[in-house]
Structure 1
């Protein structure tokens, strides 16, 4: 198994000097690294953001692109995680309105008892998540009127008898990550490989970086280090320090993108066995279909043909009126999520993150696990721990827009 090839760096050269110094160096410019850079800037702390690709160019562009409370946590009983996610959902809507869009998701039911259970559970979800800045008044929650449900082509000929609508927030995660980076004063070292580290007296002191554009070498010194490497953590720690400990397990879900289907206006979230959810979401002029999840072992694998077939079979069983196998498939992707290593099925693992202080290097913190929705809150907590400074404005200060990005959402 091997990772997908990293994209080639852009032409040109980096004008930064060969020797650099900062207070805190962040390795990994995904959602966590970019969020931490913003948190440190809000606290007046100098930092650097290092990545061998571009900002938001790894797993931050392969997620479900939802900022959600985790309605599946109702099934697992993890109410604390759900309520944390709902609170953060409101924060994202406040600080990044250009990258977020509220939607009324439909959860269809197969019978009257299931519909009643949905109404009760979803009612609690929307009650606890009642803070929804910028909620569009035309969107309606609760029971979907029968005539409205039957007008959706996905309802025809299938097992569903109705649906309940609940609120959640859609985003564009790559642009959101870039806006977080743009909202920082971090020294950006994208397209830089970490060749090696130098350490002194049990602390990391300096990283030797190689610019992927022209091969130039730079040396970055820092007092403290944070690795926010996502699924690449274990491989990086083995390569840089010879560590064989497995901190993470990788779980994946596939996303397929079809041409838009007329009449499919609301996103659907369909409950499946073992706590799995089948998403069918109209966005950006296409129809996104996704499901979770399977463990992918120690590295990346392509989407398996059996996995693709299982998804097509699920679509045919649940939404038979849509000719899924005849629709043009515009794109497909494998979203990989790092889960903190533990025994048992990945479907039962917690989505909570761990901030691990390294046993050998006292000035190194590893960000393990985590999810898109709560990345800001986690990095707020880490920045407070690193600096001793809380920052309430993190929850209200609007994000800047990344250079060259449009002012409105797509």
Structure 2
């Protein structure tokens, strides 16, 4: 990928020059699309605005996992982990055609580590026992020695066995598009927000430029929500001259190799600083990642040092596979927005914050967050905005944006 905002698609937008709605949502990633669905379920008119396409930014560069966060077992953030496990089950109910259960293997190097894994993973799977549609052929707990040793990743490496745990894989961009398709939002994708009008301490109007043909439009709304992910601070500086840093940004990369025969189950390998190295067979390829570094922008290129660090980690942990000779079919870098605080980004929480803006009374900002808990967070925000809870949010199936089922292997 060479550009966070690719060339706009062909075709013209037929929307009028002036659009009025109740709630305007800026950012058509997982949070913005989820909020559009939540408002629609409550009968509230909304518009969904994005400089690019729906799901075209950070929402297509995640780990593509809907999970409780096995790393939280290591960092002790049990509350956030259990919230993720609850939401994992909700996604399995409302988006079964975009999700696939898997038995992940976490390998261990010695007996004591293996016992610790079985205890911790046992709790993880106990708290996450609600697994709608779980395939009975997938087995959890201790991986039989013969099965483990048959995997080429086990050959010649430091690992002596593995414990299997459950998690949910997804197609993140398609999931985001499904959320948008499940809403009645007026879609203003590939529209560049330019300037705002305000009156009496409230935002009133947004001036937009259609990136396809330069057409100017005005969007009027009673309430505004910015779900801009890692671009939040930059946008607030540009539009309102704000210098406050609300977020710290952490990047992670994924490389996609040709499939390796015998690598059937996803692996999750513990690394220093609470990080996890994933090696996941999916869609006919082998996905590996992720390294982590703090960055300043919502879009940054992959640097050679990141690739090298990832190759070294693969060679140290899985030496039987000739990683440097395997063709890299694609690579991607995602930037995680973390709520600003002190300390190394590897230890910062992925917990999100909903902020009511101090200057504009009708503006809310979504800060931080992650794929797994996006629906729950936007359910909460929609309830705060409307005063109306909605039980159907957890049960109403998503509409497929393309009308097709994904190919599930």
| Same topology, TM > 0.5 | yes
Q: How does 1:141-180 map to 2 (within 5 A)?
A: 141-180=140-179
TM-score by length of 1: 0.98
Matched, 1:116 2:119: no
Where 1:32 maps in the other structure, the secondary structure is helix
Counterpart of 2:52 in structure 1 is 53
C-alpha displacement of 1:4: 3.4
Counterpart of 2:38 in structure 1 is 39
Where 2:292 maps in the other structure, the secondary structure is strand
Q: How does 1:5-404 map to 2 (within 5 A)?
A: 5-298=4-297, 300-403=299-402
C-alpha displacement of 1:297: 2.5
Alpha-carbon separation, structure 1, partners of 2:236 and 2:3: 19
Deviations 1:320-353 (A, max 9, x none): 0000000001111111100011111101111100
8 Å CA contact 2:231, 2:297 repeated in 1: no
Deviations 1:52-92 (A, max 9, x none): 11100000000000000011111111110000000000000
Alpha-carbon separation, structure 1, partners of 2:306 and 2:4: 22
8 Å CA contact 1:24, 1:224 repeated in 2: yes
Alpha-carbon separation, structure 2, partners of 1:409 and 1:187: 31
C-alpha displacement of 1:195: 1.1
Where 1:330 maps in the other structure, the secondary structure is strand
C-alpha displacement of 1:302: 1.7
Deviations 1:160-217 (A, max 9, x none): 0000000000000000000000000001010111111000011000001111111111
8 Å CA contact 2:37, 2:184 repeated in 1: yes
8 Å CA contact 2:273, 2:347 repeated in 1: no
Alpha-carbon separation, structure 1, partners of 2:75 and 2:403: 42
Alpha-carbon separation, structure 2, partners of 1:409 and 1:208: 42
8 Å CA contact 1:249, 1:298 repeated in 2: no
C-alpha displacement of 1:377: 0.2
Alpha-carbon separation, structure 1, partners of 2:137 and 2:43: 41
Alpha-carbon separation, structure 1, partners of 2:215 and 2:297: 31
CA-based RMSD = 1.1
8 Å CA contact 2:258, 2:327 repeated in 1: yes
Where 2:308 maps in the other structure, the secondary structure is helix
Cα separation, partners in 2 of 1:258 and 1:209, compared to 1, 3 Å: same
Alpha-carbon separation, structure 2, partners of 1:352 and 1:379: 13
Alpha-carbon separation, structure 1, partners of 2:248 and 2:197: 28
Alpha-carbon separation, structure 2, partners of 1:9 and 1:278: 35
Deviations 1:239-282 (A, max 9, x none): 11111111111101110000000000000000011111100000
TM-score by length of 2: 0.98
Deviations 1:265-320 (A, max 9, x none): 00000001111110000000000000242111345432121121111111011000
Alpha-carbon separation, structure 1, partners of 2:288 and 2:245: 31
8 Å CA contact 1:197, 1:240 repeated in 2: yes
Alpha-carbon separation, structure 2, partners of 1:403 and 1:291: 30
Count of aligned pairs: 408
Structure 1: runs of 5 or more not aligned: none
8 Å CA contact 1:98, 1:408 repeated in 2: no
C-alpha displacement of 1:11: 1.3
C-alpha displacement of 1:10: 1.2
Alpha-carbon separation, structure 1, partners of 2:148 and 2:330: 28
8 Å CA contact 2:283, 2:408 repeated in 1: no
